[in-house]
């Protein structure tokens, strides 16, 4: 932190930065702290797991190319028990890597080298989307609860349940489901389901929809609840 800069507030967003490059960890730690974030760093997945066991984080920033367990493996482990947003960092610009990260459950993707301010903007967008009730509050004509199949979704809380059990969904899945559920039975264009990040395009929307189907459809290959409208977008059928 620069001299004279106030320490981050106790309720400031807490970021875990995992990267084997010490200089980059130190740079991001200082920069994010100076911009109001609480920052914890880890040099590899082993250290990251220990940090996660002892602290609560609002967002994870994971490098993909790390020795030992890579960022994809760590993201997959996180997604087994958490929907906390994940931003992936990598020197690779391969579209296959971007799609793989999204399939695992990453919320955004930033290739190296990057400007620290770009990372800052992406983190702000991710954290803003983390509050679905504020970002997409229901209008008076929109129901607070929608039902489809054995599921209920609360638009005011962004909460998905199957019968009485909470279904874990990622921040991006919650955002898309909020848009779909607020327009029940209507065809929602792909562009309306895209987020604000660089990786938000038709291909990644399709990947995220397929991921969501695996959680709500009895047969994701033949969806009954979340259906494709060819050439246009998607439609959620309610009870």
Identify the pLDDT of residue 40: 95
Identify the pLDDT of residue 180: 92
Q: Is residue 143 domain-shared with residue 232, that is, in the same domain?
A: yes
Q: Is residue 227 domain-shared with residue 140, that is, in the same domain?
A: yes
Identify the pLDDT of residue 135: 41
Asked if 129 contacts 119 with a C-beta cutoff of 8 angstroms, the reply is no
Identify the pLDDT of residue 196: 53
Identify the pLDDT of residue 238: 80
pLDDT digits (tens, 9 = 90+) for 143-190: 688 999 899 999 888 899 998 899 999 888 888 899 999 888 888 888
Q: Is residue 117 domain-shared with residue 178, that is, in the same domain?
A: no
Domain assignment of residue 44, yes or no: yes
pLDDT lower than 70: segments of the chain? 1-10, 92-94, 130-143, 195-202, 239
Please state, in angstroms and rounded to a whole number, the distance separating the CA atoms of residues 239 and 235: 13
For residue 163, give the DSSP letter: T
Domain assignment of residue 100, yes or no: yes
Q: Are strands 151-154 and 14-18 parallel, antiparallel or unpaired?
A: unpaired
Q: Is residue 77 domain-shared with residue 121, that is, in the same domain?
A: yes
Domain assignment of residue 166, yes or no: yes
Domain assignment of residue 120, yes or no: yes
Q: Note the pTM of the prediction, 2 decimals.
A: 0.57
> At 203, which CATH number?
1.10.10.10
Q: Is residue 101 domain-shared with residue 156, that is, in the same domain?
A: no
The residue range of the domain holding 203 is 133-236
Q: Is residue 43 domain-shared with residue 65, that is, in the same domain?
A: yes
Q: Is residue 20 domain-shared with residue 125, that is, in the same domain?
A: yes
pLDDT digits (tens, 9 = 90+) for 32-52: 999 999 999 999 999 999 999
Q: How many domains does the chain have?
A: 2
Tokens 């994010």 belong to residue: 32
Domain assignment of residue 5, yes or no: no
Identify the pLDDT of residue 198: 43
Q: Is residue 36 domain-shared with residue 53, that is, in the same domain?
A: yes
Identify the pLDDT of residue 213: 93
Please state, in angstroms and rounded to a whole number, the distance separating the CA atoms of residues 155 and 112: 36
> At 81, which CATH number?
3.40.50.2300
Domain assignment of residue 2, yes or no: no
Nearest to 236 by CA among 189, 199, 185: 185
């Amino acid at each position: 932190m620069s001299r004279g800069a106030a320490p981050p507030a106790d309720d400031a967003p807490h970021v875990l930065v995992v990267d084997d490059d010490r200089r980059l960890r130190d740079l991001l730690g200082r920069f994010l702290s100076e911009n109001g974030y609480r920052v914890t760093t880890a040099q590899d997945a082993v250290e990251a797991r220990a940090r996660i066991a002892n602290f609560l984080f609002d967002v994870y920033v994971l490098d993909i190319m790390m020795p030992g367990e890579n960022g994809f493996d760590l993201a997959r482990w996180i997604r087994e028990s958490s929907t906390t947003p994940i931003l992936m960092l990598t020197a690779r610009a391969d579209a296959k890597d971007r799609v793989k990260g999204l399939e695992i459950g990453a919320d955004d993707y930033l290739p190296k080298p990057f400007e620290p301010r770009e990372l800052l903007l992406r983190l702000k967008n991710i954290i803003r989307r983390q509050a679905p009730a504020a970002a997409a509050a229901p209008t008076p004509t929109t129901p607070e609860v929608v039902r489809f199949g054995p599921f209920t979704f609360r638009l005011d809380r962004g909460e998905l349940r199957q019968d009485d059990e909470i279904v874990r969904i990622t921040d991006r899945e919650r955002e898309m489901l909020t848009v779909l559920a607020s327009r029940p039975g209507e065809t929602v264009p792909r562009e309306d389901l895209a987020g604000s990040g660089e990786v938000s395009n038709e291909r990644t929307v399709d990947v995220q929809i397929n991921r969501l189907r695996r959680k709500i459809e009895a047969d994701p290959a033949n969806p009954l609840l979340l259906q494709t409208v060819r050439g246009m977008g998607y439609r959620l059928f309610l009870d």
